[in-house]
Each structure stands twice: as C-alpha cells, then as structure tokens.
Amino acid sequence: MNLLLISNSTNAGEAYLKYPINEIATTLAGVTEVAFVPYAAVTFSYDEYERKVQDRFNEIGIKVRSVHRVINKRNFIRSAQAIVIGGGNTFALLKKMQEEGLLSAIQRRVKAGTPYVGWSAGSNVTCPTICTTNDMPIVQPESFRAINLVPFQINPHYLDANPEGHAGETREQRILEYLAANRNRYVVGLREGCMLRINDEGIQLIGSRPMRIFHKGKQTYEVQPGDDISFLLNR
C-alpha cells in the first residue's frame, strides 16, 4: 500500500494544506488526477471543498475531481489513479460513504496499490473503526466500522493540554477509556503538524513532534520521527 495519513490540514498561521503538500506530492508521484471524497464537509458545500483542495493541488499539477459529481461513484473509485479524503466531521463522512457503498471499493483499490492521502477525518476512516475520532456524532452511521486499511487506531490533533480550571476528561483519559473496552488495539496520538507514511518499506512518522503510543496494560510512551514503529502494522 501507499498511504499518507495526516493529522491536520492546517498549522496555525499557515495556508490550507501548505505544510504537508510536499509529502502529498511524494505520495502522488506520477498521478495526474485524484478521486476526492468531500463528505466530511458540513458547514460548507462539497463544491467549495473541491475548489479549496484544488487550489493547493494546483501547485503539484494534479487535478482534483470530487466523487459527488459522478453518478456511478463506486466505478469512479475503482478507476481512480489515487484517492484523497479530506477532514471535517468523521461521522458525516462515514455515514455518506457507507450509504454509497464506498468502503469496500476504497479498501480494495488501496490494498491493490492505489495511493491514498487523508487528513484528520480522512485519516480516521483508514482505521478499523472511527471510535477514536474527536468529533461530535452529528449524524448516525450504520456502524462505526471504517475502511480498515491499518490495524491500529489514530487520534488526530492529539493534545496533551489540560487547561487550568478544566474538570473534564483529558484526551489521554478518553483514549484510555477506549482501551478499557478494546484491550488488544493500539492507539496513536498523532499531534498536529505530523503524519504517517505507510508503504512497502513499512511505516514512518514524519514531522517535528513525537507521537504518543497507547495500549492496554502497557505504559503510555512516545516515539520520535525515525524510530521503529513497525509493530503498529502487526495484525
């Protein structure tokens, strides 16, 4: 497989998709057009989302064509040179993909080698489930089962912060709750500005910040870019 799973689209003070665009270009080398899945958009239209991504992809000479524009969406995915799924609300994204029967079509294509790029919700849906998303369930999908391209769970936008005066759960506490109910699953806390590249050479953390590793019965710890994290791909 050839995946680039990005925590967030935009770093503070930067333009949209600016920081990961070179890594996106590497993943999509030789690709001239991508099939874009915009269904995580909620407060703006799919047309707007397609235009926003196209504006950045113009820099790397790639056309963005959204799945919402075609009639036979599964055939569109089956013939795509590459698949890109953007961020937004993970529940809205999964519900729409389930309704259109896209999960299995995407899984088959990506497992056969079709490049895949996702950020935020687009990274969440590559996991076995979307249970480690940060999003509010504004709609109800058929189930939480996702595309299942990787055997671990991602928590994008991972935060260590516990603001003064905040009495609720931290991000870490919520992940530990997930692990209490899912004892055999790894969860990675992918901080902003970071991404995971997965290909025939294995899995690599890219970015300037460490990634947090969670597993039931193990002390939570951090890995740095360059560390061996191949164990995450063991099913």
Q: What is the DSSP string of 41-82?
A: --SS-HHHHHHHHHHHHGGGT-EEEEGGG-S-HHHHHHT-S-
Under the banding of pLDDT at 50, 70 and 90, the label for residue 3 is very high
Confidence of residue 168 (pLDDT cuts 50, 70, 90): low
Q: Name the catalytic one among 7, 9, 123, 135.
A: 135
Distance between CA 117 and CA 23 in Å, rounded?
10
- Percentage above 90 pLDDT, the chain: 92
Question: What average pLDDT does the chain have?
Answer: 95
Q: Is 79 a catalytic residue?
A: no
- For residue 21, the model assigns a pLDDT of 97
Q: Give yes or no for residue 50 having a pLDDT over 80.
A: yes
pLDDT > 80? residue 166: no
235 confidence band (pLDDT: 50, 70, 90): confident
When the candidates are 3.40.50.880, 3.30.450.70, 3.30.465.10, 3.30.70.1150, the CATH number that belongs to 3-233 is: 3.40.50.880
Q: pTM higher than 0.85 for the full model?
A: yes
Q: What is the mean pLDDT of residues 21-40?
A: 98
Per-residue DSSP letters for 88-132?
S-HHHHHHHHHHTTHHHHHHHHHHTT--EEEETHHHHTTSSBSTT
Pick the catalytic residue: 120, 160, 215, 230? 120
Residue 66 falls in the annotated catalytic set: no
Q: What is the pLDDT of residues 86-102, one digit of tens each?
A: 999 999 999 999 999 99
Of the two residues 200 and 39, the one the predictor is more confident about is 39
Catalytic residue among 157, 160, 208, 230: 157
Predicted pLDDT at 162:
67
Q: Is 120 a catalytic residue?
A: yes
